[in-house]
Amino acid sequence: MKRFLLPLMIAFAAFALAACSEDIFGVEDMDGTRASTTLSMKVMQYNVKSARPIEESGHEWSKRKAAIAAYIKKEAPDVLAVQELYDGWTMNQYSQLNSLISGTYGGYIAYRGTTTLWDNEGCAIFYKKSRFTLVKTGKFWLSATPDKESKGWGGEYKRVTAWAILRDKTTSKEFFVISTHFEDWVQKDGNNGNCQYESTKVINARIKSLAGNRNVILMGDFNSNPDKTPAKMLQKKWGQGGTLVNARDICRITPSGHKSTTNNWTTADNTGAQFDYVMITDNGANYVSSHYTGNSYYNNVMMSDHNPLIVDVKFVY
């Protein structure tokens, strides 16, 4: 009897282990190949507009912050990238926004440093604390000396990028998140995109050195349309060192919402500018199930001169 019992117990244990690990690691299909595991998350990109005194006239942060926090709670993204969070003698935008959403979200911000008295701004990453563990964070500047506070290639301002490694608590899968803000296409020296070109090379290099084999989500305000350098050089298909793909381009349904990601403080969809992006690792398996450009008018408040992007990302392992 015992000689039959032990093999049965071993077989049962193996079956139970396979069943428990199916959702996390995948199982073999009938043809012997391994079935994939999909990590799904909703991400949001939002330039909330700086509260620098020079920017405030008629659009005070005190009137906007509650609406922005309420909008974030309504959309409930798993991961959120935010730009133009001002830190100065009048206020700290990051601290004030964080205090309104900290019950749900953890966060990290990287500040660019001051060029003049009032222009210190940051790029931030927020994540759902219930779902993710923050593994590591860091920052680099879009300049020839990315590890030092600095301006790049004729730019008017110092430009910084925040990054974080997040671990999903259910699957233990890690991924790499970037929040960035490029210099304007036409810089102070009139160099017509050279700063953006060089900045993109920095980001591509840092993705390769920091992300490892992790999937990447890059979100940010590129200050340029899809036909310009950053949107092309960051994407794998253009063969210029990029490893990503524009989420809009691989959405399995037609992208919805506004055509523009900038709005000139009006609800009209008439600017035509697509300055904000969500990009993910282009590996032929990852995909996007929805891509929505929202309206920045919410709770009777115009929240920003940019519109938010809300994207459902699927990382396939």
The DSSP secondary structure of 288-306, one letter per residue, reads EEEEEE--SEETTEE--SB
Whether 293 and 258 have beta carbons less than 8 Å apart is answered as yes
pLDDT digits (tens, 9 = 90+) for 41-69: 999 999 999 987 766 678 999 999 999 99
Q: What is the pLDDT of residue 92?
A: 93
- pLDDT tens profile 202-251: 999 999 999 999 999 999 999 999 988 889 999 999 999 999 999 999 99
59-85 in b/e form (b: 16+ CB < 10 A) is bebeebbebbbbbbeebebbbbbbbbb
Question: pLDDT at position 137, please?
Answer: 98
Q: Helix 93-101 vs helix 61-75: angle between axes, to the nearest 10 degrees?
A: 40
The reported pLDDT for the residue numbered 10 is: 46
Per-residue model confidence (pLDDT) at position 89: 76
- Give the residue ranges of the chain where pLDDT is below 50: 1-10, 12-32
Residues 6+ apart with CB under 8 A from 153: 143, 144, 187, 191, 194, 195, 198, 199
Dihedrals phi, psi of 124, to nearest 5 degrees: -125, 155
The C-alpha atoms of residue 124 and residue 161 are separated, in whole angstroms, by 9
